Amino acid sequence: MVSRSPQRREELLATAGEVFAAQGYDATTVRKIADAAGMLAGSLYYHFDSKESMLDEILSTFLNELWARYDAVLAAGLGPRETLEALVTESFREIDQHRDAVAIYQRESKHLADHPRFGYLAESQRKFEKAWLGTLERGVAAGTFRADLDVRLTYRFVRDTVWVAASWYRPGGHHSPEEIAHQYLSMVLEGIAVRPQ
């Protein structure tokens, strides 16, 4: 298989991503993708080996980019609270720029992680846990975060809170990703109740 114009691939992956995100991977037929791209089903196979490899390419490029951002944050040597804030902000930026990929990841990653081809999903999940959980534990040790909460529960709470936003977030809406991140962080860190003076 030869060059096959990277730009065209990206275009097709973008439309495939839209359909995957809207209908779900299993409910999406290659004919629907081809329709959305204005071509016939068989023609997709000039650019890709299989439907699965489209999904693979969408998810892996997304995760590669995400981890480039996360690793930069984690290597910056910030305090626990600043690390959490930076991770959340980067997550919302990622949702802003790759909403489809995030939605697909949210929906499919769980049962795909069994599949050998998508082993990197499980690995990414472990790195995820290490990064977030580690930050939270550092914060508890430093007296920044509350010690009376179950840390693993808090981890899932923070993690899910951020990523489910991809299910309703629309790029170009009223709020920028930074604004949403700021409000989310305010809720997660300070709570939604009015504090007694």
C-alpha closest to that of 4 among 55, 59, 52, 43 = 43
Asked if 116 touches a second copy (CB under 8 A), the answer is no
C-alpha closest to that of 161 among 185, 126, 130, 129 = 185
Q: How far is the CB of 41 from DNA (least distance, A)?
A: 4
Handedness of CA 178, 181, 186, 187 (dihedral sign): positive
Asked if 3 touches DNA (CB under 7 A), the answer is yes
Quick one: 18 exposed, middle or buried, by C-beta within 10 A (0-12, 13-18, 19+)?
middle
Q: How far is the CB of 50 from DNA (least distance, A)?
A: 3
x/- track of binding to a second copy for residues 178-197 (CB under 8 A): --x--xx-xxxxxxxxxx--
Q: Which is nearer to a second copy, 27 or 40 (CB)?
A: 27
157-186: contacts with DNA (CB under 7 A): none
Please choose which of DNA, a second copy, none residue 52 contacts, taking the beta carbon within 5 to 8 angstroms, the exact cut-off set by kind: DNA
Please choose which of a second copy, DNA, none residue 156 contacts, taking the beta carbon within 5 to 8 angstroms, the exact cut-off set by kind: a second copy
Cα 156 to Cα 165: distance, rounded to the nearest angstrom: 14
Contact in structure between 191 and 173 (CB atoms under 8 Å): no
Asked if 22 touches a second copy (CB under 8 A), the answer is yes
Torsion of CA 132, 166, 88, 115, to 10 degrees: 30
Q: Quote the Cα angle for 109-113-114, to 5°.
A: 140
12-71: contacts with DNA (CB under 7 A): 28-31, 34, 38-47, 49-52
Which residues of the chain form contacts with DNA (CB under 7 A)? Answer: 2-5, 8, 28-31, 34, 38-47, 49-52
Which residues of the chain form contacts with a second copy (CB under 8 A)? Answer: 22-24, 26-27, 81, 107, 110-111, 136, 143-146, 149-150, 153-154, 156-158, 160-161, 164-165, 167-168, 175, 180, 183-184, 186-195
